[in-house]
Copies of this chain bind each other. A is one copy, B any other.
Amino acid sequence: MVRKPTSKESARKPNMREAILAAAEELFATNGFNAVSVRDIAQAAGANPGSVTYHFKTKDGLLLEIYRRHCGPMNLRRSELLAAAKRVRDLQDRLEAIVRAYVVPAFTSGSDLAGGGARFTRLRAVMSAEGNEVARKIIAQTFDDTSHAFIDAIHESLPHIPRTDIVWRSHFLLGALYYSLVTPDRVSRLSRGEADGSDPANAIEQLVQATVAAFQAPALDQAAPTRRRQAVSNKT
């Protein structure tokens, strides 16, 4: 890949800017936004703190650029995979394909950004937990369309389930997805070393399998109303 100089617009040394972005992504995703200082990021990237200000103006601007960098490619890939999944004939297979189309891009690389998928998804999880304002705005703008597309697709392959239930279950899916990326070591620990929580392929298969079953659960209203809510009380 030989990037020609183009005299204008582009940088002479794009490495530094990329290094800062990568370092910030990694640090934000593991420690949260406020726990990481601009100086931490600069040091991790082998840059001067002033460089961060030069390229991204503010710390928020840096976070914003990270989102801009990833949102497009990830949503594009999800759209492609979703389109392919919707062409699957068998309803059961189609549901699984749809879920996979949602999960896979979150775990794997979104484009040419090395290993960016999982790292960016983890970043989103942490920003979401921290209630980060910058992230919240972008998320609502960028991901809600995609989420609705997936919810609609799932609804089509499970017409007997109310849309509300599907929303809840896809919400659970995202939560499980996030959490798997946030604390993969917990899986290894609780399984006493038998499972590797850090293995993306493993996580994907487990998540898809469990989620498909969750989506196929009977709807809440019609769920065996004769025997519910016994043996465990709701309030003390």
Contacts and interface: CB of A to CB of B under 8 A. Distances in A.
Interface stretch (A47-55, A56-64, A202-210): A202-210
Given A168-B187, A210-B169, A213-B214, A129 B126 contact: yes
A164 B201 contact: no
A142 B174 CA distance: 26
A19 B147 CA distance: 40
Contacts of A235: 108
Given A31-B131, A34-B34, A174 B179 contact: yes
A107 to B, nearest CB: 9
Contact of A129 (B90, B125, B205, B234): B125
Interface string A150-188: 010000000000011101111111111111101100110
A232 interface: yes
Nearest to A170: B190
Contacts of A230: 93, 97
A114 interface: no
A6 to B, nearest CB: 27
Contacts of A104: 232, 234
A93 to B, nearest CB: 6
Contacts of A9: none
A228 to B, nearest CB: 8
A211 interface: yes
Interface string A79-101: 00100110110100100010011
A223 interface: yes
Contacts of A172: 172, 176, 179-180, 206-207, 210-211
Contact of A130 (B32, B171, B203, B214): B32
Across the A-B interface, the 4 shortest Cβ-Cβ residue pairs: A175-B179, A213-B217, A129-B129, A172-B176
Given A32-B32, A77-B236, A108-B234, 14 more contacts: A34-B35, A100-B232, A128-B179, A128-B183, A144-B190, A147-B190, A163-B194, A168-B203, A172-B176, A172-B211, A175-B182, A210-B217, A211-B214, A213-B217
